[in-house]
Amino acid sequence: MTKKVLTKTNQMSRDEWLHLRRKGIGGSDAAAACGLSRYKSMFALYQEKMGKVVPELAGEAAYWGTVMEPVLRSEFGRRTGLTVEPMPYLFYASDHPFMIADIDGIVREKDGSVSLVEIKTANAYAAPDWVGGLPIEYYMQVQHYLYVCDLTHAYVVVLIGGNDFRTIELDRDPDTVQSLIKLESDFWINHVEKGTAPAVDGMESTSKVLEQLYPTAEKISMVLPESADELVSYYLSLQSQEKSLKTEKTAVENQLKELLKDNQCALTPAGYAVSWKNVTTNRLDTTALRKDHPDLVAQYTKAASSRRFSIKFTHTNQKGDK
């Protein structure tokens, strides 16, 4: 397998880049395409590739990651003596053209070999994800890149919490790569190319995509297929269990509160810290505001539309049974 250059990327607009990403599965898509991402479902990724939804704009964390990239590249060079060469190209695998890669850079080792460099930033709350190696999403991303770029070794440079600089080395894993090829091929060929969406699941990303796909109800009513009755029955069963568990949870919480009495916190013999602290919050008295300044309330009130999901029994049989 040899890598090929699809295009140069350093002068692309965001719209051009998004359009190009739809042509294949990138490294940051790899975990989602394999059903392993904790943040993006296969259903959400499919809708992005089909152009039905637009990926969310990069937030502050991604912005500062981009700003910090040259700093981390320089620090990596200072610590290792290796010079990172940026790679402003989009590569694709000749054997599987839908597998694409936009890498941060490469380094040329002293023995003449070439290694991949991937640069990351993470906040302090994500530090546990980096214990013992890479988070699954980044591990799959790097293995994807190593395959597409036909490389065998990678450096992942990460700054955690603004002051914890780490360099993690890893090699291409043949078993992982074979699994990647199989799962990504299945996603691309059997879903994207055939226009068949993966099954919806309970991930937050799936819920957000459904809200984007169907933001408003255009039709008043319809009759669902018989399979919907099974789903409704299961939903109501889960809803009942959820209420029961919430009641049990509240009962346990109240028992602990009764043990705490007027103490703010306490320790259990096993070492758990249990707290029931005083909290003061400032809340806007909207009732008084509407009464005293109705014009001001009207001026700063903005309508927001959304869709509310509910189930109720109507006693109306839609099967036509007598």
Give pLDDT tens digits for 120-158.
Answer: 999 999 999 999 899 999 999 999 999 999 999 999 999
247: left (phi over 0), alpha (psi -120 to 50) or beta: alpha
pLDDT tens digits, residue range 249-294?
999 999 999 999 999 999 999 999 999 999 898 988 889 989 999 8
Kindly report the CA angle at 38 between 33 and 41, in degrees rounded to 5? 40
Residue 169 has pLDDT above 70, yes or no: yes
Cα–Cα dist 187/182, whole Å: 9
What is the predicted pLDDT for the residue at 191? Answer: 98
> What's 57's DSSP letter?
P
CB atoms within 10 A of CB 251: 9
Burial (0-12, 13-18, 19+ Cβ within 10 Å), 149: buried
Write the single-letter amino acid at 182.
K
- Contact yes or no for 214/307 (Cβ under 8 A): yes
Give the residue from 3, 55, 10 showing the smallest Cα distance to 29.
Answer: 55
Domains of the chain plus CATH, in order, are: 3-212 (3.90.320.10), 228-274 (no CATH)
79 or 317, which is more confident: 79
What is the predicted pLDDT for the residue at 184? Answer: 98
Cα–Cα dist 163/168, whole Å: 16
223: left (phi over 0), alpha (psi -120 to 50) or beta: beta
Collapsed DSSP state (helix, strand, coil) of residue 313: coil
Cα–Cα dist 13/65, whole Å: 19
pLDDT tens digits, residue range 170-185?
999 999 999 999 999 9
pLDDT band at 101 (very low <50, low <70, confident <90, very high): very high
List phi, psi (to 5°) of 168.
-110, 125
152 or 297, which is more confident: 152
Query: Please, what is the average pLDDT of the chain?
Result: 91
- For residue 179, the number of C-alpha atoms closer than 13 Å in the C-beta half-sphere is 13
CB atoms within 10 A of CB 126: 15
Residue 320 has pLDDT above 90, yes or no: no
Give the residue from 76, 233, 237, 274 showing the smallest Cα distance to 165.
Answer: 76
List phi, psi (to 5°) of 246.
-65, -40
